[in-house]
């Protein structure tokens, strides 16, 4: 059993990924899929007249400003078009997929951040109306129920707060939390680059192997969105996973290539 996280950046080829999942499922592989939807959310938010905003925390992480309207648009894209689009691609290839958000059956539960400290134009500011948080509990009973019945769960943010509000959570870290909760050994994270790059965006500078104990050092190398992927990998390792692979989601057989060690392998 492994966890497959598929990013939401442009360029990632969901058809090729669905082909590969179908081949793996035919071979009897069990997996849980987690996906994003960031690029399309930006596009739809623009069109709906509520353009995306990103904020940078005081510790240097970038995240989507998630007011209530953004959350609605987020759900439209992540849970609507992206999730059902992927479920359809999988079903049409013979994979019995079931798409769920973190709200459904309280699949991904966590605390909503009461306040987030950001830096804006060089000044510190506190946001209190943001709907973001972090997955702290995974409903493994529900996942086991579906996996035992032969379904492939296809999961996507948002998660749910302890008070029952939808909260935006990072998909890579949610995938890591899911892998830990299910006791999986491997987490594959597909994005629109071949892995962690020594000199982003030069793809020839791919870092092929990182020993688990030295992952910390690579945080400085990670750019932008890759920072959270490295953070997710750190959490996954701390939670007992033995292998995390950052790999290319734009190529043929992307999942099998990753499982065969193409990309950045952290172990």
160 near a copy of itself (CB under 8 A): yes
- Tell which one of 155, 166, 188, 265 touches a copy of itself (CB under 8 A): 166
CB 265 within 8 A of CB 210: yes
Q: Which of residues 133-152 bind a copy of itself (CB under 8 A)?
A: 141-142, 145, 149, 151
CB of 153 to a copy of itself, least distance (A): 10
Q: Which stretch binds a copy of itself (CB under 8 A): 5-13, 26-34, 40-48, 254-262?
A: 40-48
Name the residue nearer to a copy of itself (CB basis): 101 or 191. 101
Count CB-CB contacts under 10 A for residue 98.
15
Q: How far is the CB of 127 from a copy of itself (least distance, A)?
A: 21
Q: Which is nearer to a copy of itself, 72 or 198 (CB)?
A: 72
Give DSSP secondary structure letters for 196-218: -BTTTT-GGGB--EE-GGGGGGG
Q: Do residues 247 and 17 touch, judged by C-beta distance below 8 A?
A: no
Please tell me the distance from the alpha carbon of residue 154 to that of residue 143, in angstroms, as a whole number. Answer: 10
68-87 binders of a copy of itself (CB under 8 A)? 72, 75-81, 83-85, 87
Q: Cis bond leading into 201, ω under 30°?
A: yes
Q: In 10 A of CB 11, how many CB atoms?
A: 12
Strands 166-167 and 159-161: antiparallel
Residues that bind a copy of itself (CB under 8 A): 44, 47-49, 72, 75-81, 83-85, 87-88, 91-94, 96-101, 103-106, 141-142, 145, 149, 151, 158, 160, 163-166
């Amino acid at each position: 059993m492994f966890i497959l996280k598929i990013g939401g950046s442009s360029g990632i080829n969901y058809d090729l990924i669905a082909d590969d999942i179908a081949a793996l499922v035919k071979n009897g592989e069990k997996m849980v899929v987690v996906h994003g939807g960031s690029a399309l959310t930006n596009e739809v938010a623009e069109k709906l007249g509520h353009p995306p905003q990103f904020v940078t925390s005081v510790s240097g992480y970038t995240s989507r400003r998630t007011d209530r309207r953004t959350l609605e648009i987020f759900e439209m894209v992540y849970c609507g078009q992206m999730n059902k689009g992927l479920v359809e691609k999988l079903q049409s290839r013979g994979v019995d997929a079931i798409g769920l958000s973190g709200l459904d059956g309280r699949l991904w539960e966590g605390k909503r951040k009461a306040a987030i400290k950001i830096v804006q134009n060089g000044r510190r500011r506190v946001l209190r109306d943001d709907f973001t948080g972090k997955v702290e509990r995974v409903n493994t009973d529900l996942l086991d129920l579906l996996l035992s019945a032969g379904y492939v769960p296809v999961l996507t943010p948002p998660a749910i707060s302890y008070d029952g509000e939808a909260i935006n959570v990072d998909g890579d870290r949610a995938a890591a939390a899911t892998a830990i909760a299910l006791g999986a050994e491997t987490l594959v994270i597909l994005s629109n680059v071949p892995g962690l790059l020594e000199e982003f965006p030069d793809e020839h500078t791919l870092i092929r192997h990182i020993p688990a104990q030295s992952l910390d050092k690579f945080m400085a190398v990670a750019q932008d969105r890759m920072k959270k992927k490295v953070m997710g990998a750190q959490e996954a390792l701390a939670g007992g996973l033995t292998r995390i692979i950052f790999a290319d989601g734009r190529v043929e057989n992307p999942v099998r290539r990753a499982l065969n060690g193409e990309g950045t392998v952290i172990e």
